Structure 1
Amino acid sequence: MTTGTEARTDHDAWRAHREEQLREPHGWLSLTALHWLDDGPGRFDGLPGEWRVADADTVAVSATAADGVLMPGTDIPVEGTAYVRPVDGAPGVMVTVGERVVEIARRTDAYALRIRDPRAITRTAFDGVPVFDFDPDAVVAGRFTAYAEPRRLTVGAVVAGLEHFPTAVGEVAFDYRGTTQRLVALAGKNGGLSLHFRDATSGAQSYGGGRILHTPDPDADGTLPLDLNRTVNLPCAFTAHATCPLPPAGNHLDAAVEAGERTPPRPDLG
């Protein structure tokens, strides 16, 4: 049986790993710009080369060798025009420009460049994520009920007019603070489930766009552990240059989940 001390020690180690990931040189804290591409040649201040939509599935990157634009997995500069095909909703194609990385991302039928710069103030001034105190009562038992077939949802985004299309695989119920809570469960990108929700702290103590809890795969009988202390912010809580989805309709808990990450400071806003 895990003791309270062991649980807190395990949680502290998990938090340290989480913040180490956030500090990565080209992680979410390094974003400095978001540029949407149109059908014509695109030039952007401080960024060499031209970046444009070539057709419905392709972005063209034109540069000279002196521009130092390196395609993924190579150390050979683009000389002429190179073509990439980002996948909708997936991480973008990462193109290196000096110490920066330009992510070419596709969101539905639109394409964008996200500039990742390790010198971004959101990264260099990062001093940890504010969190609620660790609460052993926020570790609860969940009950997963799978849908007969996965369902493709349409949800909004923090960027007006943008939509995301996550896959819902079932519902998770759990008892918290004396009441039964229910959430639509999304398929996790690397297995397990993702519970993306708002609660009574959203917009006050925690980020208004909601938070997310990643869980392991349920057992054969549908049971799974839920540690609400590991509820985390999405990238849009840290930067204006993310395109995060909003929670599925109905994933708004009346209870205040005073566990996990709180609203982080935004040094880029002054």
Structure 2
Amino acid sequence: MSFEKDWQDWHTSRERYAGAEYGPAALESTNWLITEPAAVDGIPGLWALTEDGGIRGSDLGQTGESVALRGVQTLRLGRRELRRFTRNGTVALRVYNPGRLERERFSGIDAYRPDRAWRVPATFEPTPGEQVTITTVDGAAHESPLAGRLRFTLREKEHELTVTRNAQGALSAVFGDGTNGRETYRFRFLPIDEPEADGTAVIDFNRAYLPPCAFSDQFVCPLPPEGNRYTVPIRAGERAVVLGR
């Protein structure tokens, strides 16, 4: 019962996060900026990069006031929330709108029932100094440190899962499988628990989850590296966003 309850608690928190007022379903636009001020759809004023990598909005409202956005600061203009987003040295202004149609219609995340059989034993092999090419949904590519590879068996065939470390230092993977485009979104993310000292590990596909771009096409999610694309169907974890009328 603990296994199923733990999964249900996780699933409930995922739905709460996805449908939150300023959660991923509320992302309305990602606007790549330059130093020349330009208009951004849905919000007043003109927006541009500053020399120190921040964002400045000018000519806001009748008073012509200006604002600055740096680091992890956020700014509310009416119901919309503005956030600074960086990728490989480029900066964008993201606009979150709780009134976005897809956010208002969000009613849940369809998922497979949890199944212990999808907790797969694996062996972790670290890869110090190795890089992997990460390509995002908009075609941009960059090199990223590779944390290691997990070797595991599915349907009597050997497979490997390439994993990296996120900004918080935790292991994670992006993978595709035989359910994509039919039963599930085009690819999914997967957190990986830290392996034991001897390299033994568990891949829990029950915790496979939808990338942010499943909720808004304004996210620039990483695609699975070539070695993480499987023909075998992995019927575990989250499947698709559920929208009501």
Q: Give the TM-score, by structure 1 length.
A: 0.81
Instruction: Quote the Cα distance in structure 2 between the aligned partners of 1:189 and 1:178.
Output: 34
Q: Distance in 1 between matches of 2:40 and 2:84?
A: 14
The change in CA–CA distance for 1:51 and 1:265 in structure 2 (over 3 A counts) is same
Matches within 5 A, 1:165-184: 165-184=143-162
1:139 and 2:124 equivalent?
Answer: no
Return the offset for 1:235.
0.5
Counterpart residue type for residue 221 of structure 1: D
Q: Say which structure, 1 or 2, has more relative contact order (CA 8 Å, 6+ apart).
A: 2
How far apart are residue 195 of structure 1 and its match? 1.6
Q: Percent identity?
A: 29
Give the alignment's Cα RMSD to 1 decimal: 2.5
Contact 1:211 1:232 in 2 (8 A): yes
2:33, 2:61 → 1: CA distance? 23
CA 266–19 in structure 1, closer or farther in 2 if over 3 Å, else same: closer
Partner amino acid, structure 1, of 2:135: G
> After superposition, where does 1:77-226 map in structure 2 within 5 Å?
79-80=65-66, 82=68, 84=70, 93-149=73-129, 151-160=130-139, 162-208=140-186, 210-226=187-203
> Is the counterpart of residue 15 in structure 1 residue 11 in structure 2?
yes
Could you say if the C-alpha distance between residues 253 and 36 of structure 1 is closer, same or farther in structure 2, counting changes exceeding 3 Å?
same
What is the rounded CA distance, in whole Å, between the counterparts of 1:177 and 1:63 in structure 2?
Answer: 61
Task: Please give the per-residue CA displacement for 1:52-81, whole angstroms capped at 9, x wherever unaligned.
Answer: 1234834333255868xxxxxxxxxx9445
Residue 170 of structure 1 aligns with an amino acid whose one-letter code is: G
Unaligned runs of 5+ in 1: 68-77, 87-91
TM norm structure 2: 0.88
Residue 10 and residue 81 in structure 1: after superposition, are their counterparts in 2 closer, same or farther (change >3 A)?
A: closer
Give the number of the structure whose residues are more often strand, by fraction: 2
- Count of residues in Structure 1 that have an aligned counterpart in Structure 2: 245
SS at structure 2 position matched to 1:111: strand
Would you say the 8 A contact 1:173–1:183 is kept in 2?
yes
Deviations 1:80-106 (A, max 9, x none): 45363x5xxxxx653222222112212
Q: CA deviation at 1:224?
A: 2.0
Look up the match of 2:220: 243
Letter in 2 for 1:157: T
What is the CA–CA distance in structure 1 between the aligned matches of 2:67 and 2:225, rounded to whole Å? 40
Residue type of the alignment partner of 1:240? D
CA deviations on 1:154-202 (whole Å, 9 max, x unpaired) are: 3211113x23443311101122232222011111332331021111112
Unaligned runs of 5+ in 2: none
How many Å separate the matches in 1 of 2:75 and 2:133?
A: 30
The equivalent of 1:259 in structure 2 is: 236
